[in-house]
Amino acid sequence: MSPFMPTLRLHDRYVLHERIGLGGMSEVWRADDDVLGRPVAIKVLAGQLAADPQLRATIQREARAAARLTHPHVTQVYDYAEATLTGGVVVPYLVMELVDGHNLADRLRTGPLPWPEAVRVAGQIAAALAAAHRIGVVHRDVKPGNVMLTDTGAKVLDFGIA
């Protein structure tokens, strides 16, 4: 069971509202940044993984790498911190751009994209990955579930574990 819940406040700044994603290594929450007055996504390292200091150091290094990446088709990383929860459990988390849309995996379940849209989306994903590679960041988990389709185009997610 997750130690996170709605209304939890991290570092007197980020207020969690609802969990919007759950995976084997992490969970993602919709939250508000009370300092800057904007919605954000908070990605939290899950369970026992958070207890490993080496893994936390690796996540921090990876967050630094992902934060250097600025591209219109890549989700921005805004912050990295570690929260000490009840019982002294230390949990690292990333604060990222909250992307509104639906993921490519869900879209593909309804059938293939029309070819002009497929070409446009593939080009946007390729441009995002090329920008990452130029600064030495490799995604390592490119899949339809890590691509969001938005009103402004595709966004590659999850560079936090790159």
Q: Which residue out of 33, 52, 141, 151 is catalytically annotated?
A: 141
152 pairs with which residues across the strands? none
- Which residues are within 8 A (CB) of 119 and not within 5 positions of it... i.e. 6 or more apart? none
In this structure, what is the dihedral angle of CA atoms 43, 44, 49, 51, given to the nearest 10 degrees?
Answer: 140
Reply yes or no on whether 141 is catalytic. Answer: yes
In 3D space, the residue among 143, 162, 160 whose CA is nearest the CA of residue 42 turns out to be 160
- Which residues are within 8 A (CB) of 25 and not within 5 positions of it... i.e. 6 or more apart? 45, 46, 49, 161
Q: Are 153 and 71 in contact (CB under 8 A)?
A: no
Residues marked as catalytic: 141
